[in-house]
Amino acid sequence: MVVATIPLRTPLLRGERRLRIALVGLPGGGKTTLFDVVSSTAPNRGELTGTHRVYRECSVQIGLDEASVVDLPSIHTLHDLQGDDLSALKYLLWGDDRPPVSVHEQSGPPAPFAPPDLIIQVVDATSLQSHLELALELSQLGRPIVLALNHMDEALRKGLYINVKVLEKLLGMPVVPTVALMGQGIAQLFAAAVSAAREAICPLPQPPSRHIAESLRPLTAAMNRPDIHAAFRVPHPLLLEQFAADDGFVEGELGQHFPGLLPELRALREAAGLGLPRPLAEELHADRHHRAATLVEAAMRMGAPAATGGWRYWLDELFLHPQGGLIGSLAVFAAVLFVVFEISGWIDSMTTARLAEAFADWQPVSTGGVVGRAVLDGLIGLTGIVVPYMIPLVMLLVTLEQAGLMHRIAFVVDRGFHQIGLHGGVAVPFLLGLGCNVPAISGAARATSGRERVIASVLISFVPCSARSAIILAIAGKYLGAGGVFGIFALTLILIAVMGRLLSRGDREPGPGQVPEIPPYAMPTGRILLAETWDRTSDILTIVTPLLVGGSVVLALLTHVGADSVINTLLTPVTVWWLGLPLALGVPLLFGVLRKELSLLMIYQALGTQEIGNLLDSVQITVLLLFLTFYIPCVSTFAVMLRTIGRRNALFSVSISVGVALLVAVVARLLLSGVRALVA
């Protein structure tokens, strides 16, 4: 066996070493979109102190490292800021550790967390020059900076070609092309950020042009004092340029803390502007504008708009575009339904159904024979789970993953899943749940951790698997019509959404955000397909088989000794009083914990006919279907929950499913009975 080795970059940036990243940029650059892509399900929100400028903050997982990412309000410039804009600069400089010059301020620090270790400036590639002016200013902060060259797809469509390597060399900072709206380049961006922070690479100095630097030389020498640096804790080039540009905050603080020095500094500033073609502040601004234009001229060329075509382009438009991606996701959902109800149904008829038919005449009466028959029923039920539904569906989804499609679907649906406290990475397990909840919960355990794993497992247990869907289609389709079938499935979706919202609320901290990886398209390989399918289905042999066979034996022995009437009597409060169903349906409901199809067969047996519409009215049929749909999926699902989320959470999930099933069923009974009474 070949073992791949991956070099570990140390020290790991997590826990107390967690990296702090600030997202900065002009309006329209895509900063907020980028934050939405990587954010947790419930980011923290707040206002910068003394302002109405809202920031958002959350932790983000970046490989083995972690980062606290802050989405700051948009910043146009760092110079001559007033009011709310000034607070954003104060956070970038000092965070929650205010310098001596601000001790007289009554308000607290700008934000309740430390200043950033690194800045990601999100730049609009279609309007590069104005964004590079801000980049020149940010380079004076003395912190590592990574430039996210966003909207690259639009730039290419406009014929704007940017030489990333040239721009990196001129600025002295990493530059990463991105299309945040479609998740492209995000993984590379944050990998570059972690690398830049770990190596503490700051941008190249970007001093003003020579004629301005010469004019500022006396002022530079006068302000280059240890006491001023200690008071402001600001890099000298930034402090110098702020004062030279008549920044009101810097000049005011100098007046309060160095009143004897301020007249001299003002005189030197006035002298510096005498030999310039325009006032010093205007000359500094014009110089930044010129240097930004020079950078654009060196790094960008105009050409013909890039041709939009090729299968990769159209697949990305289908699976990554905010609107088109939903169409692509629905197409995959339709493919899963086709596999579940057509291909898997045909395989089931050719395997499990034939096995059941072959042994249908064996109805032993001895205790040993009953036990043997129960073991056989358990193994047939196991075959019915694995062969027709689990293996084909897992193979389909593994194929889509290898091809690179499932990562794109996960990206598109991520914001929707955030509403129920999860990330888009659980889209694959939820699709698996349409075939069988067992591999779905195992898949969710791989994709999530902690609180999110519990939420995903509980919600997946409400996804109608093929067995429950078969019951809904068989009974509701016959007695309630298409409207009844649609209503039950729609209620399932509503219930999952509501339960997700309820479970995601609470005092526990949500899991970290995730940096999406959009892999290149690739052709699936048979070896990896088989290996992954085995890896995702092999657990059922050791986890599900004992419980499924054991449960079958226990329930068969209870029936053999005549305990079925006792069971029906004990379940009277549930079946008769609460659900309003016939007493004889107690055992069929109980046997549903083995496999839902058994409930359907035993309902026919208990009522003595397959035409249950002659014995149950439409209200009772609806109540029966709702209860079967929502209460404990099956013992196999419970077994997987025991391993993935632990006994306590597994029992919690079971109690929720039983409680929801009882509540939904009785509400439906009361509402439908009331409507029927009004109509009558």
Q: Are residues 610 and 660 in the same domain?
A: yes
CA distance 121 to 240: 23
Look at residue 193 in the predicted model and tell me its pLDDT.
Answer: 94
Give exposure, 523-560, as e/b (b: 16+ Cβ within 10 Å): ebeeeebeebbeebbebbeebbbebbbebbbebbebbb
The answer to whether 364 and 372 are in contact (CB under 8 A) is: yes
347 belongs to a structural domain: yes
Q: Are residues 394 and 327 in the same domain?
A: yes
629 belongs to a structural domain: yes
pLDDT at 558 over 50: yes
DSSP per-residue letters across 457-472: HHHHTTS--HHHHHHI
The domain containing residue 45 runs over which residues?
15-199
Q: Are residues 569 and 428 in the same domain?
A: yes
Q: Which residues pair with 120 in a beta bridge?
A: 23, 146
pLDDT at 6 over 60: no
Which of 149-163, 370-384, 503-517, 613-627 is predicted with the least confidence, judged by mean pLDDT? 503-517
CATH code for position 27: 3.40.50.300
Q: What confidence tens digit (pLDDT) does each residue in 306-326 have?
A: 666 677 778 888 888 777 777
Q: Are residues 356 and 265 in the same domain?
A: no
Q: Are residues 215 and 96 in the same domain?
A: no
Domain count along the chain: 3
Nearest Cα neighbor of 441 from 450, 449, 453 is 453
For 196-201, what is the mean pLDDT?
86
Output Rg (C-alpha) for the chain, integer angstroms.
33
Backbone angles phi, psi at 456, to 5 degrees: -60, -45
123 belongs to a structural domain: yes
DSSP 8-state assignment for residue 184: B
Look at residue 318 in the predicted model and tell me its pLDDT.
Answer: 80
CA distance 212 to 240: 12
DSSP 8-state assignment for residue 480: T
Angle among Cα 634, 639, 643 to the nearest 5 degrees reads 145
Helix (H) or strand (E) run with residue 196 in it:
helix 186-199
End position of a domain, from candidates 132, 166, 199: 199
Q: Are residues 371 and 397 in the same domain?
A: yes
CA distance 383 to 660: 30
379 belongs to a structural domain: yes
Helix (H) or strand (E) run with residue 177 in it:
strand 175-177
Q: Are residues 591 and 668 in the same domain?
A: yes
Q: CA-CA distances (angstroms) from residue 119 to 32, 93, 103, 144, 663?
A: 14, 11, 26, 6, 51
79 belongs to a structural domain: yes
For 522-529, what is the mean pLDDT?
88
State the burial class of residue 53 (Cβ atoms within 10 Å of its Cβ: 0-12, 13-18, 19+): buried
Q: How confident is the model at residue 605 (pLDDT cuts 50, 70, 90)?
A: low
Q: Are residues 628 and 490 in the same domain?
A: yes
Alpha helix locations (H) across 28-148?
Answer: 31-38, 83-94, 128-138
Nearest Cα neighbor of 95 from 21, 33, 26 is 21
SS (H, E, C) 382-405: HHHHHHHHHHHHHHHHHHHHHHCH
- Grouping H, G, I as helix, E, B as strand and the rest as coil, residue 372 is helix
Look at residue 595 in the predicted model and tell me its pLDDT.
Answer: 66
Look at residue 132 in the predicted model and tell me its pLDDT.
Answer: 94
The residue written with tokens 């990896």 in the block is 528
The answer to whether 42 and 420 are in contact (CB under 8 A) is: no
pLDDT at 547 over 70: no
For 437-448, what is the mean pLDDT?
83
CA distance 323 to 162: 28
Helix (H) or strand (E) run with residue 346 in it:
helix 344-350
440 belongs to a structural domain: yes
CA distance 32 to 89: 18
Pairing state between β 118-124 and 145-150? parallel
The residue written with tokens 């944050």 in the block is 190
499 belongs to a structural domain: yes
End position of a domain, from candidates 147, 171, 199: 199
Q: What pTM does this model have?
A: 0.82
Which of 41-50, 123-132, 236-245 is predicted with the least confidence, judged by mean pLDDT? 41-50
Q: Are residues 249 and 127 in the same domain?
A: no
Look at residue 597 in the predicted model and tell me its pLDDT.
Answer: 63
> What is the percent of the chain with per-residue pLDDT over 70, rounded to a whole number?
93
CA distance 348 to 469: 14
Q: Are residues 173 and 227 in the same domain?
A: no
Q: Are residues 321 and 426 in the same domain?
A: yes
Q: CA-CA distances (angstroms) from residue 375 to 143, 231, 368, 553?
A: 68, 81, 11, 6
Q: CA-CA distances (angstroms) from residue 213 to 125, 272, 486, 527?
A: 30, 9, 74, 65
Look at residue 2 in the predicted model and tell me its pLDDT.
Answer: 40
> Which residues, including other chains, have CB under 8 Å from residue 528's CB and lie 6 or more apart?
398, 402
Token readout for 382 is: 């196991």
End position of a domain, from candidates 273, 302, 331: 302
For 498-526, what is the mean pLDDT?
80
Here the contacts of 338-341 (C-beta below 8 Å, separation 24 or greater) are 339/392, 339/393, 339/396, 339/435, 340/389, 340/393, 340/434, 340/435, 340/466, 340/469, 341/466, 341/469
DSSP per-residue letters across 113-174: SPPPSEEEEEEEGGGHHHHHHHHHHHGGG-S-EEEEEE-HHHHHHTTEEE-HHHHHHHHTS-
Q: Are residues 31 and 71 in the same domain?
A: yes
CA distance 23 to 35: 8
- Pick the residue with more confidence: 243 or 469? 243
- Pick the residue with more confidence: 147 or 419? 147
The answer to whether 18 and 207 are in contact (CB under 8 A) is: no
pLDDT, mean over the chain: 84
CA distance 338 to 678: 41
Q: What confidence tens digit (pLDDT) does each residue in 12-56 have?
A: 888 888 899 999 999 989 999 999 999 887 788 888 877 778 899
97 belongs to a structural domain: yes
How many Cβ atoms sit within 10 Å of the Cβ of residue 621?
A: 20
CA distance 76 to 26: 5
